Amino acid sequence: MSSRIYFEKAILLDKKTSKEFGVFRFKMENIPQISRPGQFVMLKLNLHPYPLLARPFSIFHAEGRELSLFIKKVGVTTNGIFNLHAGESVFIYGPLGKGFPEALGDKVVLIGGGSGIAPLNFYAKRYGFKRFLVGFNTRIDDIFSLLPKNVEIYTEDGSYGRKGVPTDYVEDMEDFIFACGPLPMLQALKKKMANKMDRIYVSLESMMGCGTGLCAGCGVKKSVGEGYFRVCMDGPVFPFSRIEI
Ligand SMILES: Cc1cc2nc3c(=O)[nH]c(=O)nc-3n(C[C@H](O)[C@H](O)[C@H](O)COP(=O)(O)OP(=O)(O)OC[C@H]3O[C@@H](n4cnc5c(N)ncnc54)[C@H](O)[C@@H]3O)c2cc1C
Ligand code: FES
């Protein structure tokens, strides 16, 4: 975890949304300047008791005083974020968690599904990549243009890019793989790359309460030895060989 955690008011600069996904660019004082790819922030819509808990989101991009999030609309907080207008504010604390191993650049294949593309985009923009494969159910027009050039886009319905899912198009000879996405995507990767698990790092999007190690609400089973890791403190990025999913 980063040595400093800030709690800051974040002002929405602009947003680009499709029906289900959106990219939201916020301005704030400190968090963007110390954030690293693979870390996340906790976002609370307001200081009222409802919704009580802040929600975790990976950092999609951070530079200077700006931080962007890539968000899938699923419930109370994410709907609230979609309804924000430029100039309105939310509260964010972070950066939290351990990020990806740094600066492997062109040795890394990045594989993201849905909202899981967020931490990989930050890595890609900061360190580069060998291949970057992203998968969605269907096209999300405006948002594809925010991803790095040369990204490979796959849609399950074939409405954009290649038809299919990214895990079908990855070879088992890659040096390193960083992946983030829905559980079935990670399980498909595990099945295909069983003998490469020590070179695959996954970022987990588990349910979380506090994001800071206090509530024990984010456990993932260790693959070796007894017990659980806390995704917020020990992750969210883990060598795939060390966790049981
Ligand atoms: C480290 C981390 C990074 C994440 N990064 C992103 C990101 O970059 N972009 C993004 O869109 N989402 C991300 N998520 C998931 C995000 O935190 C949840 O989608 C969010 O908390 C939902 O909040 P809500 O109030 O809108 O939904 P709620 O109203 O609380 O719930 C709506 C529905 O979503 C389900 N749900 C809630 N949280 C999760 C979850 N973590 N996983 C699966 N289902 C869930 C609930 O069971 C319920 O069915 C991340 C999660 C973690 C732990
Ligand atoms: S979310 Fe509270 S301990 Fe991890």
pLDDT along the chain (245 residues), means of 10: 83 95 97 97 88 92 97 95 97 96 86 97 95 93 86 94 92 86 94 88 94 93 94 96 93
Using the atom order of ligand 2, give the atom closest to the CA of residue 210: 2
Rounded-to-integer distance, Cα 183 and Cα 154, Å: 17
- Domain of 62? 6-96
pLDDT at 134: 96
Sign of the C-alpha dihedral computed for residues 51, 56, 61 and 67 taken in this order: positive
| SS3 state at 73 | coil
Is residue 216 assigned to a domain? no
What is the whole-number distance in angstroms between the Cα of residue 156 and the centre of ligand 2?
Answer: 33
pLDDT at 1: 45
**Is there an atom of ligand 2 within 6 Å of 208 CB?**
yes
Q: Which ligand has the minimum distance to the alpha carbon of residue 55?
A: 1
Mark whether 83 and 122 lie in a shared domain: no
What is the whole-number distance in angstroms between the Cα of residue 203 and the centre of ligand 2?
Answer: 15
Q: Which residues pair with 168 in a beta bridge?
A: none
Comparing CA positions, the residue from 173, 153, 61 lying closest to residue 113 is 153
Is residue 238 assigned to a domain? no
Is residue 117 assigned to a domain? yes
CATH number at residue 88: 2.40.30.10
Mark whether 47 and 114 lie in a shared domain: no
Q: Which ligand has the minimum distance to the alpha carbon of residue 97?
A: 1
Mark whether 113 and 79 lie in a shared domain: no
Is residue 67 assigned to a domain? yes
Sign of the C-alpha dihedral computed for residues 198, 101, 201 and 120 taken in this order: negative
- Ligand 2 test: best mutation among 214, 229, 238, most atoms within 8 Å of CB? 214
CATH number at residue 140: 3.40.50.80
Look up residue 188 and give its DSSP letter: H
Total tally of structural domains belonging to the chain: 2
Tell me the H-state helices in 108-153: 117-127, 141-144
**Is there an atom of ligand 2 within 6 Å of 54 CB?**
no
**Is there an atom of ligand 2 within 6 Å of 214 CB?**
yes
Mark whether 82 and 114 lie in a shared domain: no
- Reported pTM: 0.95
Task: Output the six-digit token pair for 61.
Answer: 């991009």
- For residue 140, give the amino acid letter: I
Nearest CA to ligand 1 atom 2: 205
